[in-house]
Chains A and B, each alone.
Chain A
Amino acid sequence: MKLRLSPQTLLVLDAFLQQPEEWKYGYDLSRGTGLKSGTLYPILMRMAERKLLETAWEAGEPGKPPRHMYRFTPDGLRFARANAAAHAGGGLGQVALGLVAPGPVGG
């Protein structure tokens, strides 16, 4: 399961890890991570292609379009938690972007 862990990808993983059971919308993820749609969606596409994310359409209210939602698959959650453990001491994305110093790894 190869996924290039760019700082932006780590931010997205971090956002999903906040409430891993909940479905999330693209725009909310964009606001939460500060990523533009042109950066966010390629990451979501790669994660979905690698079966790290499951996607679903939410039936919209009348007059509103349906929304696409995303959440971790069990594999995705394991993958994100393993990476979070490796970057323990700060949010995944924050560490990757150099906003927080990484904590000690292991023991």
Chain B
Amino acid sequence: MVRVLIGDDHEVIRRGLRQMIERRNGWTVCGEAASGAEVERLAAELAPDVVILDVSMPSTDSVEVTRRLRAAHPATEILIFTMHEGEEMIRALIGAGARGYLLKSDPTTQVYAAIESLAEHKPYFTPKVSEALREAFLKTIPESGGKTPPTLLSAREREIIQLLAESKSNKEVATKLGISVKTVETHRATIMRKLGVSSVVELVHYAVRNKIISP
């Protein structure tokens, strides 16, 4: 028996998840919560195997909720279920102990696969999230100098992302930062590689998602 607690402030989403889950033999929804506080209360009361957690519930810090759930109930797995989050948010949630990450746009088969994995205490990440996870993992491997960079992107790279997303050309970026165009080109290539993006369009999406610029 797999017992699932659903935490989402939208009733329509809870309803859809409940229908999906209860169609499977041996799976049951043991509770529904509409806020982070309710999730914590019900998790303590019901000891579910898996908590499906929406990260955009009102007045809820989902990173903190995840951290506290993991500390209080180590046997309960947390599956993040979200519209789309910035890469930084994904890393914070994984750092807080979430072991599954699913997008609301993922097909039903992936919802099943995610719950199945977590019920066996195996992590599950949707392909897009796996990429962010890989980057986060890579940063934990010390570089040749032995120092671990504090974040995926350097401060200079972030600065350049912002300027590029604000439509500045390589030349304008160079002038603004007092560096050569060639250096900007190198930074730009590194940024694209690190973020796994291949166009300025994707770069702007990244910048908006991660609140580097407002749209």
| A-B interaction | no
